[in-house]
Structure 1
Amino acid sequence: MAAADPTVRSMAASVAASTRWAHEQDRTKTAKAGQRGMRARFAREIDPDGVLAPADLAKRVDAAVRAHMTRIAMKSRAARAARRLAAA
Structure 2
Amino acid sequence: MAGIDKRIAVLVSWSKTGDRKQRTKPGRDAFLARFEREVDPEGVLPVEERRRRAELAKRAYMLRLAKRSAQVRKKG
Q: Same-fold call, TM > 0.5?
A: yes
* TM-score, normalised via structure 1 length: 0.61
Q: Say whether residues 1:60 and 2:56 are aligned partners.
A: no
SS at match of 1:74: helix
Q: Distance in 2 between matches of 1:76 and 1:29?
A: 29
Q: Does residue 48 of structure 2 align to residue 77 of structure 1? A: no
For residues 10 and 37 of structure 2, what CA distance do their matches in structure 1 show? 28
| Match in the other structure for 2:28 | 35
Deviation per residue, 1:23-42 (Å, 9 max, x gap): 44534333332111110111
Going from structure 1 to structure 2, the CA distance change for 1:76 and 1:21 (only over 3 Å counts) comes to: farther
Q: Deviations over 1:9-63 (max 9, x none)?
A: xxxxxx5xx7374344534333332111110111112212210011211111011
The whole-number CA distance in structure 2 between the counterparts of 1:42 and 1:62 is 7
Gap regions ≥5 residues in structure 2: none
Higher relative contact order (CA 8 A, sep 6+): 2
Structure 2-normalised TM-score? 0.69
Give the alignment's Cα RMSD to 1 decimal: 2.4
> How many residues in Structure 1 have an aligned counterpart in Structure 2?
68
